[in-house]
Amino acid sequence: MPDYHVARDLPKTTDFLVVGGGVVGLSLALEIRRRRPGASVCVIEKEPDVGAHASGRNSGVLHAGFYYSADSLKARLCREGNARMQAWCEEHKVPLRKCGKLVVARNEQERTGLSELKRRGDDNGVSLELISAEDVQRIEPRAQSFGEALFSPSTAAVSPRAVMISLARAAVSRGIELVLDTAWLKRHEQTHTTTRGAIHAGFMVNAAGLHAVKIAQDLGFANDYAMLPFKGHYLYGNDTAGTLAVHVYPVPDLDLPFLGVHFTVTVDGRVKIGPTATPAWWLENYGAVGRSGFFQGFSIGELGSILGQQGRLFIGDPSFRRHAMREPRKSFRRALVSEASSLIDGVKPESFVTWGRPGIRAQLVHRRRSELVMDFCFESGPRSLHVLNAVSPGFTCAFSFAELLADAIDDEPNHRS
């Protein structure tokens, strides 16, 4: 049973219907409720719990906002989102670890990447220090860096599960109806059919993550886009908690929306390696090859569509092609540990044997351009708004992104107040 109260029945009518009980859906529901205390808000979630997918399976890192170009929504929203999520955790007694992050260079080329990240951080107003090799050793003696490194003091760690529970409890306490085990099926005019009956809604918010594009296309939106899933694997270390002081990241390939395999310190001091970003074959392809449960959520239609889109990207996008060729090997334990071992000293394969729950990144792709969409993306109309791309740092940005989305709803002339 969930650790919060949920509605037993689907209401017959609501002013605002939010489809998706992830971090974006719940944050936006709270923001709508704050702006319109007299309006009714209902959140439906197809799973028996909130945050069952990316929101509850991510690394739990609160990003500072220095990876993103200054003209992006990610850059605009991340710094404030970080501060607001940390404040939320402190107010609601959610575990928070203010550990900071090191981004280390492994060669001369990556030192150039550090300079670009520092420039972006400065453009975005993010506190970020370019530090010497001596300072790296002072902050984290095990970290390896080819000369300088970047230190981000505002990067932190949370428990995604604890954050999601706090959001669900806050939503229920503020009069939002939260209905689980309820999937959206279709809409006719303003009547939405679900697996638990029909609901009439003045305005609909589609925050369905992996399934957001399909729902949007059913309503005439997102015609230029497709959804591509990327699987993230984690390995937990069995060393004593506290063996690593900070997160340690590599310099990422800035042509891709992934940050590379890294070391994360969890809220309880444990260390984990990951995540990978392996192209998956269907939307909820959580299982591992050769293990029981691999075909969970299998869809032949999704398989054909996704493999076709991956093939077009492989041909047309050199960055994706390089990524797709090197990433699958990291699904194997020794390869993943070997990849991460270039970041810190003393990494032993026998110390990392416990796999964590895999996650699926709901990554938007522009079909005509055959390119991954790097920034947040949404589309709206008179009676609905569709969140199409809310990938990392979407969890960090949830509250600031919710304000932006609520502004877009306010701008629609026919929304129900």
pLDDT of residue 133: 93
Judged against a pLDDT cut of 90, whether residue 415 lies above it is answered with: no
How are the residues of the chain apportioned to helix, strand and coil, as percentages rounded to the nearest 5?
Answer: 35, 25, 40
Separation CA 326–CA 329 (nearest Å): 6
pLDDT of residue 14: 98
Judged by DSSP in three states, 276 sits in coil
Work out the pLDDT band at 417, boundaries 50, 70, 90.
very low
Tokens of 370: 């055959």
pLDDT of residue 279: 97
Judged by DSSP in three states, 295 sits in coil
Angle at 337 between CA 332 and CA 339, to 5 degrees: 95
Work out the pLDDT band at 223, boundaries 50, 70, 90.
very high
Amino acid at 363: Q
409: DSSP letter: H
pLDDT of residue 416: 43
Judged against a pLDDT cut of 60, whether residue 112 lies above it is answered with: yes
Q: How many other C-beta atoms can be found within 10 angstroms of the C-beta atom of residue 377?
A: 18
- Stretch 143-158: mean pLDDT: 96
- Stretch 62-82: mean pLDDT: 98
- Stretch 332-343: mean pLDDT: 95
- Burial readout 342-373 (b: 16 or more C-beta within 10 A, e: otherwise): ebbeebeeebbeebbebbbbbbbbeeeebbbb
- Of the CA atoms within 13 Å of residue 280, those in its CB half-sphere come to 30
pLDDT of residue 412: 76
Per-residue pLDDT reduced to its tens digit, 3-52 = 788 998 999 999 999 999 999 999 999 999 999 999 999 999 999 999 99
Share above pLDDT 90 across residues of the chain, in percent, rounded to a whole number: 91
Helices (H), 36-152: 54-57, 73-91, 108-123, 133-139
Judged against a pLDDT cut of 80, whether residue 320 lies above it is answered with: yes
- Helices (H) and strands (E) counted in the chain, each on its own, are 11, 23
Q: How many other C-beta atoms can be found within 10 angstroms of the C-beta atom of residue 118?
A: 18
The winner for highest mean pLDDT among 3-12, 321-330, 406-415 is: 321-330
- Both ends of the chain: CA-CA distance in Å? 33
Name the average pLDDT for the chain. 95
Separation CA 207–CA 205 (nearest Å): 6
Bridge pairing between strands 197-206 and 384-389? parallel
Q: What's the alpha-carbon Rg for the chain, to the nearest Å?
A: 21
Q: Please provide the DSSP assignment of 217-274 as one string.
A: HHTT--TTEEEEEEEE--EEE-SPTTS--SEEEEPP-TTSS---SEEEE-TTS-EEEE
Share above pLDDT 70 across residues of the chain, in percent, rounded to a whole number: 97
pLDDT of residue 289: 67
pTM of the model: 0.95
Q: How far is CA 219 from the centre of its chain?
A: 24
User: Using omega within 30 degrees of 0 as the cis cutoff, is the peptide bond preceding 393 cis?
Assistant: yes
- Of the CA atoms within 13 Å of residue 16, those in its CB half-sphere come to 33
Work out the pLDDT band at 295, boundaries 50, 70, 90.
confident
- Decide if 395 contacts 274 (C-beta within 8 A): no
Contacts of 35 (CB under 8 A, 6+ apart): 406, 410
- Which phi and psi (to 5°) does residue 313 adopt? -65, -40
Separation CA 152–CA 98 (nearest Å): 11
